[in-house]
Amino acid sequence: MSYARLRNRTAALTMTAFLLAGCSTDHVEDLRQYVAQVKARNKGPIEAMPKIEPFVPYAYQVNDRRDPFGPTSAKAAQGAASSAPAVELDSTRRKEPLESFPLDALKMTGTLERGGERWVIVKASDGNVYWVKRGNYIGQNNGKITQITETKTELIEVVPDGMGGWQENPTSLVMAE
């Protein structure tokens, strides 16, 4: 057996002896006294569990009441629908590459002019760089680019209006710092 192996075994045996010596029962008398005091305490009566009333479901009867999930009134629903312009989505339009990314995953990194037209350089979260211009779509909410400046790209997103239709929501993509 090698010297290093013998030394390691001796060290392991010495550590085990010290650990076992630390576990001796001579120093736990105060703990035993505390446990005896806790066990000797007067055990009071256990309180009864509170009575639980069974849940009685409410059966909603429509009768002449309004639908709780519909508009507050037919007049209000018509007013809301007529005041907002009807937005139609073009379902036949071919999706563009940047429409697979949420808008917050896109970073405007620069602009350039080419052929008298201003383009935006956009870096996506996949690490690729894309060039887009006015009229292109970006983001997952049908965001159409309406204006490009040196520091900002303005677009109109089409989002659900909560009543089964769509509404336009102006937003922008600003230059990354």
Domain that holds residue 149: 90-174
Question: Domain containing 153 — which CATH number?
Answer: 2.30.30.830
| 142 part of a folded domain | yes
| 94 part of a folded domain | yes
pLDDT in tens, 69-126: 766 655 555 555 555 556 777 888 899 999 999 999 999 999 999 888 999 999 999 9
| 145 part of a folded domain | yes
By C-alpha distance, which of 141, 137, 134 is closest to 158?
A: 141
| 162 part of a folded domain | yes
- Who wins on pLDDT, 22 or 78? 22
Q: Which pLDDT score, from 0 to 100, does residue 92 have? A: 87
Q: Which pLDDT score, from 0 to 100, does residue 76 have? A: 54
- Who wins on pLDDT, 102 or 60? 102
pLDDT in tens, 133-163: 999 999 999 999 999 999 999 999 998 887 7
Helices (H), 56-122: 74-83
pLDDT in tens, 164-176: 788 899 999 998 7
Q: Which pLDDT score, from 0 to 100, does residue 65 have? A: 77
pTM score of the predicted model: 0.53
Read off the pLDDT of each residue in 39-46 and give the average, rounded to a whole number: 85
163 in Cβ contact with 81 (< 8 Å): yes
The DSSP code sequence of 95-112 is PPGGGGS-GGG-EEEEEE
Q: Which pLDDT score, from 0 to 100, does residue 161 have? A: 81
| 70 part of a folded domain | no
- As beta bridge partners, residue 114 has 117
| 79 part of a folded domain | no
Read off the pLDDT of each residue in 29-53 and give the average, rounded to a whole number: 88
| 35 part of a folded domain | no
| 80 part of a folded domain | no
Structurally, the chain folds into a number of domains equal to 1
